[in-house]
Amino acid sequence: MESKVVLVPCCDYEEEHVYQALRQGVELLGGLDGLIGRDEKILLKLNLVRSAPVDRAVTTHPAVAGAFARILKEEGYRHVEAGDSSGFGNPLKTMHELGFAETLSRNGARLAEFKETVKTAYPEGTHAKEFLLSDAVVKCDCLITMPKMKTHALEYITGAVKNQYGCIQGKNKAVGHTIYPSAESFGRMLIDLNKCVAPRLCVMDGIMAMEGNGPTSGTPVPMNVLLLSTDPVAMDTVFSYLVYLDPKLVPTNLFGAQMGLGTCDPDQIRLLTPEGELSLKQAQKKYGNPDFDVVRKKQKAKGVMGMLDIFQIFRKRPYIIEERCKRCGICVESCPVEGKALEFRSGRQKPPVYDYKKCIRCFCCQEMCPHKAIEVKGR
């Protein structure tokens, strides 16, 4: 079956511009009436991995969240909440600091707290049979995911599929990396998670994306697009095309197609724009960025190279850039490994030191570092 993805150009975060672009996107998708019931409890699942200035492109932009809440309000939806379970810090505090609280409340949406853990069985899962979800996710009738267009050290990119990891409550997300340590196992788990929480609609903020050392320490880069779809795999496939990345290199795309979440086949994706329907190659040429800084090569070697990888000779590693490190200790606190894979060995006079024999390459340290002091690269 075909999946629709809507691409609407938008070049800035001026409130009215974002609203008009999203309104046009909703119309191209066919409207909300067939997707959401008027009396359903709606949760806008943001990307609030941690607090950072909005111009750093770390989080969903509040203008995007506010504009979509405005559309829901105008369409008569009255039970709307918005939030996330952050990787580090208090998400409610983050929403106030970055302006989400003001724009969401003005447009009829309440702040969701994501405060309690609900053990949720998912016997249909092929890789994961239960999840420790946030109560806000369990209580909602309709989940609308609002990811940010960014790179990711483990999964190449983080988009519509990966955003659902924030449905896991609090520190349980770090523990999950120890259970699913590889890109493949983590990707399969994410597909089961998506099928469990079943996002009804995906709205991706790609006006200002993040390239390079994502998902929190990369470089903001304008992509000037908003994407909408009911298929998170198809959306991430379009994202991949726009940055000239083979979509089947992305584990969540590949396994998402294999496990029945969505499609990454360009022949099964209808890409709709205000100028008409485009092929993915046409959209790539018109809206893409061939210079977007993202890994475009296979990360898993085979044969002799695969054996070297097993013995950790050529595996990617997190590295601390000493001159950037503020010795705040957030990386140590974020490490999910029992006994910690990095520690301060000289008090806080010097940066923490890695024990790579313990390191599971989940890159939580790199993701949570607020000073862009940790990078991931091969030896």
Residue 207, both tokens? 């006006």
249/241 Cα distance (integer angstroms): 12
The DSSP symbol for 166 reads G
Query: Which pLDDT value is given to residue 143?
Result: 98
CB 166 within 8 A of CB 45: yes
Which three-class secondary structure state does DSSP give residue 26? helix
The DSSP symbol for 338 reads T
- Please give the torsion angle defined by the CA atoms of residues 11, 17, 21 and 26, in that order, rounded to the nearest 10 degrees: 150
The CA-CA-CA angle for residues 123, 124, 129, to 5°, reads 45
CB 341 within 8 A of CB 95: no
Nearest one of 156, 162, 155, 139 to 60, comparing CA atoms: 162
DSSP characters over 105-130: HHTT-EEP---SEEEEE-TT-SS-SE
CB 82 within 8 A of CB 100: yes
pLDDT digits (tens, 9 = 90+) for 23-45: 999 999 999 999 999 999 999 99
Query: How large a percentage of the chain has pLDDT more than 90?
Result: 89
CB 158 within 8 A of CB 188: no
127/185 Cα distance (integer angstroms): 8
264/218 Cα distance (integer angstroms): 26
The helix (H) or strand (E) run that includes residue 82 is strand 80-83
Pairing of strands 130-134, 3-9: unpaired
Nearest one of 312, 310, 174, 190 to 254, comparing CA atoms: 190
Tokens 């296979």, located at residue? 298
- Please give the torsion angle defined by the CA atoms of residues 23, 234, 62 and 331, in that order, rounded to the nearest 10 degrees: 180
246/264 Cα distance (integer angstroms): 10
Which three-class secondary structure state does DSSP give residue 342? strand
Contacts of 299 (CB under 8 A, 6+ apart): 183, 316
Nearest one of 129, 166, 134 to 147, comparing CA atoms: 166
The whole-model pTM stands at: 0.93
Query: Which pLDDT value is given to residue 315?
Result: 67
- pLDDT tens digit at each of 379 positions of the chain: 799 999 999 999 999 999 999 999 999 999 999 999 999 999 999 999 999 999 999 999 999 999 999 999 999 999 999 999 988 788 999 999 999 999 999 999 999 999 899 999 999 999 999 999 999 999 999 999 999 999 999 999 999 999 999 999 988 898 899 999 999 999 999 999 999 999 999 999 999 999 999 999 999 999 999 999 999 999 999 999 999 999 999 999 999 999 999 999 999 999 999 999 999 999 999 999 999 999 999 865 444 444 444 444 446 899 999 999 999 999 999 999 999 999 999 889 999 999 999 999 999 999 999 999 999 987 5
